[in-house]
């Protein structure tokens, strides 16, 4: 592991209801100095759930994304509430978004996104032994829920409305973990 750069200064440069942007000046071990900006998420953690409705089929939800201005099939996901474990957050989000609880929850991997300008971390949780249970969430509309086979992952990920990087990474890591 190379020597970490030294963070010389940091300060807040922009803030909105949802986003905070900090600027930092860094000096790398070779003496080069460089200014960066990055999104601050603090201690906020997130989970993305791979819910197995059978030994080889996963449940995806269809969610509108204002960023892409369209509907995408994604793994259920959401923020970890204060006091919740990753597994508890995954179970709650699964009930809110897909209408299922899980008797078995396994942490697979912690993902970063654009580590050069985002602090955001997302824990992949494999959910098995599902049972129907719905919790009221904060979604603006009910999400469509469909089952897809992990045996046809190449076909699924070729779809234009399956593009989210964490969803694709989570499905492949789950398929490997389950040795499908």
Q: Which is nearer to a copy of itself, 39 or 53 (CB)?
A: 39
CA angle (23, 27, 30) in 5-degree steps:
150
> Quick check: 5 binds a copy of itself (CB under 8 A)?
yes
> Quick check: 137 binds a copy of itself (CB under 8 A)?
no
In the complex, minimum distance from the CB of residue 85 to a copy of itself, in angstroms, rounded to a whole number: 20
One residue of 9, 43, 66, 136 binding a copy of itself per CB under 8 A: 66
Sheet holding 57-65, edge to edge: 70-74, 57-65, 144-149
CB atoms within 10 A of CB 90: 29
In the complex, minimum distance from the CB of residue 122 to a copy of itself, in angstroms, rounded to a whole number: 7
Footprint of a copy of itself on residues 111-130 (CB under 8 A)?
Answer: 111-120, 122
Q: Which is nearer to a copy of itself, 71 or 81 (CB)?
A: 71
Six token digits for residue 43:
């201690």
Per the listing, tokens 């089929």 go with 57
Contacts 24+ apart (CB under 8 A), 138-144: 138/96, 139/96, 139/97, 140/64, 141/64, 143/61, 143/62, 143/63, 143/97, 143/98, 144/61, 144/62
Q: Which is nearer to a copy of itself, 130 or 143 (CB)?
A: 143
What residue ranges bind a copy of itself (CB under 8 A)?
A: 1-2, 4-5, 7, 13-19, 21, 23-24, 26, 28-30, 32, 34, 36-39, 62-72, 74, 109-120, 122, 140-141, 144, 153-154, 157-158, 161, 163-166, 168-169, 172-173, 176-177
């Amino acid at each position: 592991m190379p020597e970490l750069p030294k963070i010389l200064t940091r300060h807040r440069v922009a803030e909105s209801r949802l986003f905070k942007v900090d600027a930092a000046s860094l000096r790398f071990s070779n003496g080069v100095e460089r200014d960066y900006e990055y999104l601050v998420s603090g201690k906020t953690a997130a989970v993305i759930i791979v819910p197995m409705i059978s030994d080889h089929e996963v449940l995806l939800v269809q969610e509108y994304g204002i960023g892409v201005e369209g509907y995408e099939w994604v793994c259920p996901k959401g923020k970890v509430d204060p006091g919740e474990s990753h597994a508890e957050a995954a179970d709650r989000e699964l009930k809110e978004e897909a209408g299922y609880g899980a008797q078995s929850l396994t942490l697979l991997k912690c993902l970063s996104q654009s580590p050069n300008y985002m602090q955001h971390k997302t824990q992949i949780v494999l959910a098995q032994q599902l049972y129907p249970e719905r919790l009221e969430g904060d979604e603006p509309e009910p999400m469509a829920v469909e089952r897809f086979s992990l045996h046809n992952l190449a076909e699924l990920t070729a779809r234009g409305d399956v593009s989210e990087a964490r969803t694709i990474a989570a499905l492949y890591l789950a398929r490997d973990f389950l040795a499908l």
